[in-house]
Amino acid sequence: MSSDEWLVTYFEELVTTLHVHGMHLRHADRNWHYPSHEHMFYEVNYVIEGRQTFTVNGRTFHQSIGDVLFIPPGCIHFARADSEKFSYFCFHFTIDEVELLPVFGPDMEVYFPKGSLLVSKVAPLLDRLLDLERNRDQNSIPFKLRTQSIVFELLAELYHCLSLHQESISTAQDYASIAVLVATEIEAWHSAVFHGRAKPDKRSHHAIIADITDRLGLSYTQCNRIFKQRYGISPRQYLSNCILREAKQLLGRSEVSVELVAELLGYTSASHFSRQFKRWSGVCPSEYREKALASKRSQSPSPLSEPANEW
């Protein structure tokens, strides 16, 4: 390869200022407490012995061995020991990397229990910092560089895990919106058929739901999974519940025959509707109608109970 063909790749310039404040290890007894305060640093608090009760902006957490709190600047917080022996490792920092702000913001989650993904990633780094703290030489350049190196690595893991957490929340919110939209489409379809704005649809419930998912740009399987997460039942079951509700209303009207009910609800025959209704409700349509009409008659006021007309 000639010199004219040599390839040179330039990497982005990296400039980030990290300032680590107040790294310390504290051993205390049950009487220890720290009063309410706030500061303009990020704080990482890691319990290594016993328990503490920690309150951040009015939310109280019971922190045990291995649990981590990550507190953003400006949060009002206070703590007290909750066991006879209690130890924690803590440090504060500031960093000028603006791209961290959307994730390291005031609305972020602050409590991460032992065993969580975030703690599994950051606990080994906190243990390494703790070892440095126990054997530190603050005037040593290697100590300072190693400390900053571990903190940078820790921040990378915090950023990664918190980003995943935020994405999962956004995904859950998106899924909830999709499920509500599917339910609305089902209700709208059934209302149009039931109230005569559309012709009775004799397709299977599967086909009706498939048509809705196609219009929304979802696969049938994906729609089924998302809907169940929100409502605990499948879209087909939801549609069946809508139809059962309307069937009961129609059967409560003596002037509407069972055959007409079946036709209005899109069934190919009265016998098909009767079998389906009994499978849903446990009784056949005629039995349900008899009980519903009897209940209405028993609730109607007797003519003898009405006040006599005054002349």
Q: Where are the domains of the chain?
A: 18-112, 176-296
Q: Is the pLDDT of residue 34 over 90?
A: yes
Q: Is the pLDDT of residue 302 over 60?
A: no
> Hey, which CATH number is domain 176-296, 3.40.718.10, 3.55.40.20, 3.90.1300.10, 1.10.10.60?
1.10.10.60
pLDDT band at 63 (very low <50, low <70, confident <90, very high): very high
SS3 73: coil
pLDDT in tens, 67-110: 999 999 999 999 999 999 999 999 999 988 877 878 888 778 89
Which residues have a Cβ under 8 Å from the Cβ of 223 and sit 6 or more positions away? 178, 182, 209, 212, 213, 216, 235
pLDDT in tens, 130-170: 998 888 776 788 888 898 999 999 999 999 988 887 777 66
pLDDT band at 308 (very low <50, low <70, confident <90, very high): very low
Q: Among 41, 111, 96, which residue's Cα sits nearest to residue 74?
A: 41
pLDDT in tens, 210-241: 888 888 877 888 888 888 888 888 998 888 88
Q: Is the pLDDT of residue 301 over 80?
A: no
- The class level of CATH for 18-112 reads mainly beta
State the average pLDDT over residues 57-65: 93
Angle between helix 220-231 and 235-251 (nearest 10): 70
**CA pair distance 272, 8, nearest whole angstrom:** 75
Q: Are 49 and 71 in contact (CB under 8 A)?
A: no
Summary mean pLDDT of the chain: 84
pLDDT band at 200 (very low <50, low <70, confident <90, very high): low
Domains 18-112 and 176-296 share a fold: no
Does the model's pTM come out above 0.75? no
pLDDT band at 171 (very low <50, low <70, confident <90, very high): confident
